Amino acid sequence: MRIFRSFDVSASALTAERLRLSVIATNIANAETTRTPQGGPYRRKEVVFMPRGDGGVEVAAIREDTTTPPRLVYNPGHPDANEEGFVAYPNVSVVNEMVDLLAATRAYEANVAALNATKSMLTSSLNIGR
């Protein structure tokens, strides 16, 4: 067993949560984007985590949420309105994204706390030998 394994586990979680925070920020920033280079409205993205063999975590994929349909809003004057006058807005709920943002922030903080606790225990164990 490696003495610094817990550092590796916490560091992998910090990296994964940082990417999750970035994806959530992108979702919030594009909550009103009705036209993308691929065509159609922006589609919400989700981060998929996967456990590693050493106890850590890694990002397996960043996928688009294809299960939630876009929001249709009646606005016949909008340049992206269809023939019935409806505009397809992204399937992003800012409220849900803020909840995910808080959860990701708390997970990040918990991993920082675990990292600091491990550092403190290692420092204390080194001081015992003095």
Confidence at residue 33, expressed as pLDDT on a 0 to 100 scale:
92
Domain spans in the chain, listed from the N-terminal domain onward: 5-128
pLDDT in single tens digits along all 130 residues of the chain: 566 788 889 899 999 999 999 999 999 999 999 999 888 899 999 999 999 988 889 999 999 998 999 999 999 999 989 999 999 999 999 999 999 999 999 999 999 999 998 888 888 888 887 7
pTM of the model as a whole: 0.86
Confidence at residue 123, expressed as pLDDT on a 0 to 100 scale:
86
Look up residue 19 and give its two tokens: 């990417």
Contacts of the segment 100-107: beta carbons below 8 A, 24+ positions apart: 100/20, 100/24, 101/21, 101/24, 101/25, 101/28, 104/17, 104/20, 104/21, 104/24, 105/21, 107/13, 107/17
Confidence at residue 128, expressed as pLDDT on a 0 to 100 scale:
84
